[in-house]
Every structure is written in structure tokens, then in C-alpha cells.
Amino acid sequence: MLAAKNKETARNGGRKPRLLTEERRRAILEMIERQGRVVISEVSRHFDISAVTARADINALAERDLLVRSHGGAIRKHDLAADAPLEVKESQHHDEKVGIGEAAAALVREGQTVLLDSGTTTLEVARAIRRRKLARVTVVTNSLTVAWELSPVTEINLIMVGGMHRHISRSFAGPQAQKLLADLRVDHLFLGVDGLEPEMGPSTPDILEAELNAAMIRSAKEVTVVADSSKIGRSSLSMIAPISSVNRVITDSGISALHKAVLEEKGVAVVVVAGASGDAV
């Protein structure tokens, strides 16, 4: 068999023999399993295929729910249960997050103080607040991406929560951030989470971030969790607070009837967004 492969390699001018599509896709999955992630250029170079073909392979595997697409490549599916980089999270459920952001921003009134947690869904809330052009709104955030989005808007008073920088989420956490929040009182917290168990409450992979989120909840008159439906019913490492601390959940139409019913039984209002337009049902 080895001799046959060597002959085939020779016929191809020294290049590796071409794999059948399914063989190549299985090999891509094996590569991701070993490395945790791949990029398009790496797949293209390794299998001697075009970037278009590499992208098509990754898309096909993602449609079969075997991996998760990210900007420029793919990540192991089970790695999403851990703390994934923002560039990975941003590519997931994007349309749903835009709709959730619009619905959340519609709750903000002129003159209010709003606390925005870090994350890709809260970033969409910030973008929607910016589009609304509200006057005399103060936004407090621990997120560099949210601060960058809102910093050019002169109508918004921006307060940045400092502390220890978390590169993976481009945000700040730690005792310094908690100390600042202890002295603040905000009208509304929009909290992004990695998991929300209807019976238990919101959770996140990082312990320091969970402690900061709990401090955010204590500083807020009203707490709204913004999370696409893939987060509902899922739990992460660190519990943030009991479900009783949450006033409202804004999610998309993928939420199960059971999860919605349990949340409402717990006294949590559930706003279901139909699509990226922000229309709620």
C-alpha cells in the first residue's frame, strides 16, 4: 500500500494525493480535535486545496453540527462550553443577537444610567443604544469593545470600570472593579451570560467575572439577561446569582416552551425576539 501511495505521489509531481471530499472532511475534524481550532489558510495549505474549498468543507461540517465556525476558521464544538474568544462568540447567532440588542435598547429611557456587561450580545445592545441617539444617558461598562463603540457618542456619558484585564473577553474584572461598582447605583443592568438555567440562574466560565457580575446585579434597580436561546438551559462553571435576581430575559424564538414556562413561573418576564429586526413577541 505504501508503494502505491508513493507512486501516486510521484504522479502528482511530489504533492500529496488528493483525498475524497468525505475523507478530507474527516481529516479536518481530526485536525481540529488535536489542535482545538483551525484557520482557512491552514486547511488550504495542509490539504492542498483552495481557500474556497476549505471554507466549503468547514461550512458543511458546521451544518452537520460537528464543529463551530469562527471568523476565518473553526473551533471544536465542545470548546464553546468553555470561555471562547470574542471573535468566536461574535460569529455565533449573530442575527439573533442583533434583534436582542434592539429589544434591550428599547427599554432605555433618556436620562437613565445603564450598566452593560462584557460580551457580544451586550455589544449589540450598545450599538442599538447608539442608533437610538438618546440624550443624557450614562453607560457604565467593564467592556473595552462596548466602550470603544460608545466613546465617539457625545450624547452618552461613559464610565469605564477598571481592574484586571481579561484578554479573552477584552474586559476588566477583579476586586478593583467590584469596589467601583459598590459605590454606584444604576437604573438598568443588561447582563450577558454563557449559561442560564431557568431553575437556578445565570452562570459564566470565569470565577472573577462571576463575582463582578454579582456586584453588577447588586448595583442595579432592574436586571435584564440578554442571551440567545442556545444559552438557555445551559450552565457554566461559576454561578452568578439566583434566578430570583433576574427581572427579565430577552432571547430569540429558539427558546423551548418548557424553559420559557419555568422562567415565567419563577417570576422572570421573557421577551422573545422574532428576528434581527428586533420585533418582539
Q: What DSSP string runs through 65-93? A: TSEEEETTEEEEGGGGGS---HHHHHTSS
Mean pLDDT (the chain, rounded): 85
CATH entry, 2-81, from 3.40.33.10, 1.10.10.10, 3.40.50.300, 3.40.50.1400: 1.10.10.10
Question: Using an 8 Å Cβ cutoff, are 38 and 31 in contact?
Answer: yes
Q: C-alpha cell of 17? A: 494525493
84 burial via Cβ count (<10 Å: 0-12, 13-18, 19+): buried
CATH entry, 94-273, from 1.20.1530.20, 1.10.150.20, 3.40.50.1360, 3.10.290.10: 3.40.50.1360
What integer pLDDT is reported at residue 100 of this predicted model? Answer: 97
pLDDT band for position 96 (50/70/90)? very high
Cα separation, 41 vs 129, in Å, equals 37
**Is pLDDT above 50 for 228?**
yes
What integer pLDDT is reported at residue 16 of this predicted model? Answer: 52
136: left (phi over 0), alpha (psi -120 to 50) or beta: left
Closest CA relative to residue 245, chosen from 269, 265, 222: 222
Q: pTM here?
A: 0.69
Domain ranges in the chain?
A: 2-81, 94-273
Q: What is the pLDDT of residues 10-69, one digit of tens each?
A: 444 445 556 788 889 989 988 887 877 788 999 999 999 999 999 999 998 888 878 777
Percent of the chain with pLDDT over 70: 84
